[in-house]
Amino acid sequence: MIHLKLLGTRASPTFTTLQNAMARPYLAFLALALIACNNDGPATTTVTTNDTKTAPAPMDPWKERDQWQHPEGMIGMMGGDLRNRVVADLFAEDGYFTFKLLDAGADVIAVVNEPDQAQRLEELKKAKGITDDRLRIRLVPVGDPGLMPEEADMALMVHRFTTIADKKSYFSLMRRGLRYPYLLFLLEWPKKQTDHGPPLAMRAAPEEIMETIGNLNYTDVSFNAATIPDQVIYVAHDPMDDMGSPEGTGLQ
């Protein structure tokens, strides 16, 4: 009895060891099967038609800008219907306002300082089927407004006034490229922090901008801070008694 108990006692771990050894291949097989199942699962669900369809498409940067730029306000200040008008889009860059002006009927001279900007505008011009008489693209050195004498009826400058180093030289050349009454429209940031725009150090107060423009041979300078939220429109020109009054435009 004792001998049997001892054998029984010894046999148990032997049997357990053998049982474990026999079970290992099965467990290994089972583990591999589970891994295979797990690998198969995500492969069939990581890319789904529903995810592809519901993923939001990236917004057109111009449409996104429309939401805070309100270009219709600027175009309205320039007259709204710009047919038979030649407008110089100074610092046209990506062409945002260039094509807004074209849509309003203007013939546009888009002035840029970088070759890649000029190339991009040429591509857009070709893609939209715009003719040379409607859009001329000028690649010029920094500091050159890119206009020939009395070539344009008016000029538009957006968010660049404070970046011009030699304003006296630049605006003297620009005025030479405009016909009387040398209409200049500027859109600038207010001297306060806003959701869009540069740091305060790169902004100027209306009084400062108006004084600077007044010292550049312009006799009449006005501004409107109500038409476009968080932006200020400036209008500069020589006396134009025969061309109407700015009353009703919100100019100050």
Per-residue pLDDT reduced to its tens digit, 158-170: 999 999 999 999 9
Measured in residues, the chain has a length of 252
Give the H or E element holding residue 140: none
The predicted structure's pLDDT at residue 124: 97
Please name every residue paired with 136 in a beta bridge, in sequence order, or none if there are none: 109
Query: pLDDT digit string (tens) for 25-52?
Result: 444 444 444 444 444 444 444 444 455 5
Whether the pLDDT of residue 240 is over 50: the answer is: yes
**Which residue's structure tokens are 């003719």?**
131
Contact status, residue 74 vs residue 60, Cβ threshold 8 Å: no
pLDDT in tens, 108-156: 999 999 999 999 999 999 999 999 999 999 999 999 999 999 999 999 9
Predicted TM-score (pTM) of this structure? 0.74
pLDDT averaged over every residue in the chain: 82
pLDDT value for 250 = 52
Residue 107 CA to residue 35 CA, distance in Å, equals 67
Averaged pLDDT for residues 210-233: 94
What is the Cα–Cα distance from 174 to 188, expressed in whole angstroms? 18
